Structure 1
């Protein structure tokens, strides 16, 4: 895993200042502490920080083709590189390293833009072709690896693995996009392709971006999408056999490494399945890492230990205090954008632990989206059956009224907390799913934001993100639709972002066998009944793993990687949350209704309501403003940096 960055003059060949490029590159030192390299020529500068995993001796970057007319900086892994090398050699290409990176430059020469279709892996790379005067950027199919870019007013194009590398240039304005703020308070992250800053963008999953000197910057181009055909005719036994084979292949490819390798082991189904299959593929005991919490309500350590004992892994477990909340400002600086998934805290800690023992760790991320594991899927399917039984013209007024008048009863037993269900029943399928996963739902955001914000955001609703993807899903199957939505939004914006930043903070590479695109494609051909069967999520995965894992692992209730926010905000963080939410920094934006902020804090701390998620979202937004927006660019004066453009 590495960090990449660069500067490109889209209009000509203005000199790139080495000091600025170095500053951008070094801002991502944590992503690649082993080596750093730069490539500069008129109008082009590429930077790379390396975390050495494969071909330790000769895999340095930037890396070139035979005559050095093609240059690449690359973050990630091409897992099928060993298959591609003989094919490219047969076409006359000469390899000078044993690295997967060199495959990219020769694949570009052989297949051009279509080279990305041949790659199986997680990747973000930038490639400069001097003969074609072309800069080519690409991001992997499921956006495991990040890639940000910005076009400045003077024609300077910036890119980097993290926003901090673009900010380090000095020319990127820190003007916040109100539409991104709306997305953040709905989703807990800013959805692709938007970023929190007006000038910057994320390259979407499975997209490339081609820039040619002297030509206008084109729009990103999609090269892959998943199609939920649901037409695979398999018996359960045949599907289990195929799934085992595909999982084993995906894991085998991700065990290629020249440095210590292991796996995260939470004791949940996904990570336990990965470890079980790794053990069958490894001649040596697997290294496994997990964390335990001192609060039993959040502790899964005993389940992880059960799997570790069964497969005799080299198991490492650290105890994390349930009041481990001192990472708030660290996380704000780490993510560069407001990010509200509180499980970033334990994820950061387990990556910290893993790095003490391994350099590469396999994870179970993506299992819920691929196999149908989220509890919300089962709730959505139940509501969808009710929605289909009542015409929309009747549902919307009836359940809309019930949703408005029914109290928000967080304190009541779950069976009496019907407000969300009523609100969902009044909506269409896509509207209801967006409503169910929103941190602050529509009515809450209406109260949260001021008239000034509504004016600046021009009435934009983050629900548009889901509508856009729903139109492209190509399915009306209720489960397939929301799986597709999660693959395009939550998996990318939340899960992959969380794991990438937390792991890279500790120079740890995390690999994701359950997000292998060939596995995702195959699962999309299976009927939804093999994913959610009755009240059982991940039906097929659990059936396939029954010979390998005990029922107590496969069929226990899902816990998740949670932290006790509600208790924190009424106890040790009581004063901090009050100061942050009601303090001067949020007020200075003019975007928030101060009376509603006061209500959220008072109602939560009195115990009248559980507003822990909205309060965490506000707390992290305030931390982002203080830690990312307010500071000057590192190492230079903003005015000087902006004035000198590409050469600054």
Structure 2
């Protein structure tokens, strides 16, 4: 909090950012400047929770709205990230940095809390699956759950605990393979349908899962929670979260500080038993215990929402035609990398409401925006680099 310039914080209304603001307020003699983002979809909107924390600590609170019109930022994001960065939360992150810079020069964030304290819901699900993996040998699990995974219908609309197909497919894999499967936007069957033989030849056998395997070999732990936290620290946190915040903040000349990523805190938490991180069905056990006298119960124990964007509704409504034009347009077709029949299937299944393909569609849309804005490739003959070279 030492700064010679105006200082504030991001406040989403979740546990991590609320904890940071609560501690800042206790250390500051002046009201803390806080900034948050609201969405035009109630299912994604945490603004009321952010306001509750802001009122409790009497912050100077500022809030801005993200709506489907902000999809226009996709071209800005492609240029800013200089790669097809496929996390849609880059939109609200860009906008909250833009808002914050109107009031402060330095902002504190709650990023890293999930990885450090064990907050992701996928951690609890992974631990449940891991208990089953321990009980059944791989030679039994692979054919049994592989068959169940292929036979069971996919239910995108259901919470993951009821999406038995995802669980069955994960159970047919190793610990690392199962976690990679859970983290993947494009899973094996979808990749086989989406990409052409030309793409596979250029990829030269490259598999992102190998990155996970290499990190897992260096993890030096038999604790299943510690292992996947380590994987997230080495992959998701640095490659997604930190990249997202760094590029978005620097675009607005805003310095973002991450107290929950302080290396001494992260290293200390890594020495603690997993029971102090995940207890039963509750994540971030230790952090919530530490903050129970500073934050309301409905902030500490409500379901995690993350910084998700209502893409599914946008792609079926106001952005329907734009999605079709970009995904089925000549620029992607000219790469020779994508199966046009499957692209059509993704759009039709999503826009009819039969499936939720918003995440893979966003990934494809970002690649199309990257071609237009960064590669500056004409639709007829895009100047593409090797898939493997681009991944290095």
Same fold (TM over 0.5): yes
Query: In the alignment, what sits opposite 2:235?
Result: 489
String of CA shifts for 1:411-433, please: whole Å, max 9, x gaps. 45756421110000000000000
Superposition map of 1:171-182 within 5 A:
none
Answering whether residue 65 of structure 2 is matched by residue 339 of structure 1, we say no
For residue 327 of structure 1, give the secondary structure of its aligned residue in structure 2: helix
Query: In the alignment, what sits opposite 1:377?
Result: 123
CA contact (8 A) 1:260 1:359 kept: yes
Answering whether residue 367 of structure 2 is matched by residue 367 of structure 1, we say no
Calculate the TM-score normalised by the size of structure 2.
Answer: 0.94
Q: Aligned partners of 1:390 and 1:415: how far apart in 2?
A: 20
Superposed CA RMSD in Å reads 1.4
What count of residue pairs does the alignment treat as equivalent?
378
Query: In the alignment, what sits opposite 1:454?
Result: 200
CA contact (8 A) 2:31 2:58 kept: yes
Instruction: Say which of 370, 378, 390 aligns to 1:624.
Output: 370
Against the structure 1 CA distance between its residues 412 and 534, is the aligned structure 2 distance closer, same or farther, given a 3 Å change threshold? closer
Choose 562-571 or 531-540, whichever is displaced more.
Answer: 562-571
CA contact (8 A) 1:298 1:562 kept: yes
Against the structure 1 CA distance between its residues 260 and 480, is the aligned structure 2 distance closer, same or farther, given a 3 Å change threshold? same
Instruction: Report the CA distance between 1:282 and its aligned residue.
Output: 1.2
CA contact (8 A) 2:170 2:179 kept: yes
Q: Aligned partners of 2:198 and 2:377: how far apart in 1?
A: 25
Answering whether residue 342 of structure 2 is matched by residue 596 of structure 1, we say yes
Query: In the alignment, what sits opposite 1:293?
Result: 39
CA contact (8 A) 2:68 2:319 kept: no
Superposition map of 1:362-511 within 5 A:
362-411=108-157, 416-511=162-257
For residue 532 of structure 1, give the secondary structure of its aligned residue in structure 2: coil
Answering whether residue 322 of structure 2 is matched by residue 567 of structure 1, we say no
For residue 324 of structure 1, give the secondary structure of its aligned residue in structure 2: helix
Superposition map of 1:71-470 within 5 A:
255-411=1-157, 416-470=162-216
Q: Aligned partners of 2:376 and 2:25: how far apart in 1?
A: 48
String of CA shifts for 1:342-376, please: whole Å, max 9, x gaps. 11111111111100100000000000000000010
Q: Aligned partners of 1:485 and 1:443: how far apart in 2?
A: 24
CA contact (8 A) 2:68 2:318 kept: no
Instruction: Report the CA distance between 1:320 and its aligned residue.
Output: 2.9
CA contact (8 A) 1:346 1:561 kept: yes
CA contact (8 A) 1:293 1:322 kept: no
Q: Aligned partners of 1:280 and 1:603: how far apart in 2?
A: 51
For residue 274 of structure 1, give the secondary structure of its aligned residue in structure 2: helix
Calculate the TM-score normalised by the size of structure 1.
Answer: 0.57
For residue 283 of structure 2, give the secondary structure of its aligned residue in structure 1: coil
Q: Aligned partners of 1:412 and 1:320: how far apart in 2?
A: 25
For residue 252 of structure 2, give the secondary structure of its aligned residue in structure 1: coil
Q: Aligned partners of 2:339 and 2:42: how far apart in 1?
A: 38
For residue 71 of structure 2, give the secondary structure of its aligned residue in structure 1: coil
Q: Aligned partners of 2:343 and 2:70: how far apart in 1?
A: 25
String of CA shifts for 1:304-360, please: whole Å, max 9, x gaps. 111111111111122333553221111111110011111111111111110010000
Q: Aligned partners of 1:329 and 1:616: how far apart in 2?
A: 13
Q: Which structure shows the higher helix fraction?
A: 2
Choose 281-290 or 374-383, whichever is displaced more.
Answer: 281-290
Query: In the alignment, what sits opposite 1:638?
Result: none
Instruction: Report the CA distance between 1:459 and its aligned residue.
Output: 2.1
String of CA shifts for 1:67-115, please: whole Å, max 9, x gaps. xxxxxxxxxxxxxxxxxxxxxxxxxxxxxxxxxxxxxxxxxxxxxxxxx
Q: Aligned partners of 2:225 and 2:364: how far apart in 1?
A: 31
String of CA shifts for 1:430-475, please: whole Å, max 9, x gaps. 0000000000011111111111111111222211010010000111
Choose 605-614 or 539-548, whichever is displaced more.
Answer: 605-614
Q: Aligned partners of 1:309 and 1:458: how far apart in 2?
A: 55
Query: In the alignment, what sits opposite 2:300?
Result: 554
Q: Aligned partners of 1:319 and 1:608: how far apart in 2?
A: 29
Structure 2 unaligned residues grouped into runs of 5+:
379-392
Q: Which structure shows the higher strand fraction?
A: 1
Q: Aligned partners of 2:16 and 2:157: how far apart in 1?
A: 32
Q: Aligned partners of 2:56 and 2:159: how far apart in 1?
A: 37
